[in-house]
Amino acid sequence: MMWTALAALRSLAVASTIVTCPAGANCTAILQSAIDAGGDFTVAGNFTVLPIFLRSSGQTITFAPGSSVVAQAGAFHGLGDCLFSADGVEELTIIGYGATWAMRRHDYNGSSAYNHSEWRHALSIMSSDSIVVRGLHISETGGDGVYLALVSSVELRDVTTDGAYRNGLSIISASGLVVAGCRFLNTAGTPPQAGIDIEPNHVKPGRRPERLERVVLRDIEARRNLGAGLSFSISKLTGADALDIVVDGAVIEGAAETQAGADALLYNIGVYVGGKSSPNASSPGRIRVRNVTVTDTAQPGLEVFGKMVDGAVVTLERLRLERVARSPAVRWGGLNVPVLLHESSGGDRVGGLLFDACDVKPPPLRLAVLLPNMATLPCSFLPSCLLRLLPHPGAARLLHAAQPPRCRTGGGRRGAAVSAMRFVRLERERNKHLGHFCGTKRTRLHDGPGPVAPKCEPAGDLQSKHACDGS
């Protein structure tokens, strides 16, 4: 709190020009003129505006504590009308500690006067470089709270979105993005309805490739969004597209405790990895998710859909799932589980997942992990990954998830027939290279009073047919 207060005071001191909107004046013209003048300035007081365009580079705009910018009622009929939009600008800084931006989501969604649109964002930034946004509180948007596409060197810090219509934050393409200390709350209206949705577009002719490189999300919150708290819909990336994302520290609270009906919570997931079609097999890179807690989701706490074996490696480290999968059935029917790993309709084999020091607590009489219609799963559960489950006839399916790539956990038919497993704790030696998933330690499958402890030979490389072999 002290840091944010000092930042607000410092920004006010830097921006000496104060812009206000007298009662009855045209606030749109006043604010747009100040932006177009190109100098630094501070917005003080309350502004009601039509769409505003951020088209000056090298500018710092400070919104004073207590100030507000509100979308004008009866306006914003254009499908892409945004409260603020920037396209092709550089070195733009927006400071808004204690300030509010607000739109009129219920007007756009609930009135016959408006055509349906999911693109009425509060802040749209496209094809821009060196952008800083700090401290804003954004509410009731007609699209996303913040939309980022084809951007580089962007920082979002201490930004809150509340009541976005589509996503709290949409990341389409970014190179060098830091999102820190932000909160994304109560997104509802049109899919995906996520707190954060990382979803590249298909590349159009003449446009530069989509990139998700050096993207860092740190100390974020996603609460009570009807869709996923954090969604990686990476299926549109190709082998030429960069992918390097790190999430370090997140609290995701689902909407199972809200008044939303069951139909509204069909995609209320904690962390989602996948897409409508499976990610390109040749797409290189990594996604690393660590220090994340997920609670109170109606659907799985983690769902992986069609994330192909040969695509980017996804590491989930210190992921804690508790009170998740609260709905009795998954959305298409059948058993709901905290972790759901499944292939796409095209039969793409799921894999390239590493689980490290995760803690999964399923609801009573539920599996921890479900692998529908899959014979093998090239995934690895690494040190101290604890999956608690009570007896269930399908518990043997969990054994498929206990196999690292090109390895098989021992126990033979005896191990595969286990149906009353109390819990599974897999301990494997870490290797500096992600490709060496098999360690030299034994894997313990706790089944009643005595463990099954197959031998595990030291790992070779990914070309080895059998890096581990049970005995």
User: How far apart (Å, rounded) are the C-alpha atoms in residues 271 and 233?
Assistant: 11
Q: State which H helix or E strand residue 433 sits in.
A: none
CA angle 120-294-187, nearest 5°?
Answer: 15
Characterize the bridge pairing of strands 146-149 and 129-134. Answer: unpaired
Predicted confidence at residue 275, as pLDDT, reads: 59
Characterize the bridge pairing of strands 353-356 and 129-134. Answer: unpaired
Q: Is the peptide bond before 192 cis (omega within 30 degrees of 0)?
A: yes
Q: Average pLDDT across each block of 10 residues of the chain; the chain has 471 residues. List them in order.
A: 48 70 93 97 97 98 98 96 98 98 94 93 98 98 97 98 98 97 97 96 72 96 98 79 91 93 91 66 77 96 82 87 89 82 67 82 64 48 46 34 31 26 27 29 28 31 27 27
User: How far apart (Å, rounded) are the C-alpha atoms in residues 177 and 133?
Assistant: 12
Predicted confidence at residue 331, as pLDDT, reads: 82
Up-side HSE of residue 239: CA atoms within 13 Å toward CB? 3
User: How far apart (Å, rounded) are the C-alpha atoms in residues 236 and 212?
Assistant: 12
Predicted confidence at residue 239, as pLDDT, reads: 62
Predicted confidence at residue 339, as pLDDT, reads: 87
Predicted confidence at residue 313, as pLDDT, reads: 84
Predicted confidence at residue 207, as pLDDT, reads: 66
User: How far apart (Å, rounded) are the C-alpha atoms in residues 322 and 361?
Assistant: 5
User: How far apart (Å, rounded) are the C-alpha atoms in residues 67 and 47?
Assistant: 8
Predicted confidence at residue 333, as pLDDT, reads: 76
Contact (Cβ atoms closer than 8 angstroms) between residue 179 and residue 202: no
User: How far apart (Å, rounded) are the C-alpha atoms in residues 59 and 131?
Assistant: 10
Could you tell me the maximum CA-CA distance found in the chain, to the nearest angstrom? 83
User: How far apart (Å, rounded) are the C-alpha atoms in residues 309 and 329?
Assistant: 27
Predicted confidence at residue 50, as pLDDT, reads: 98
Predicted confidence at residue 351, as pLDDT, reads: 73
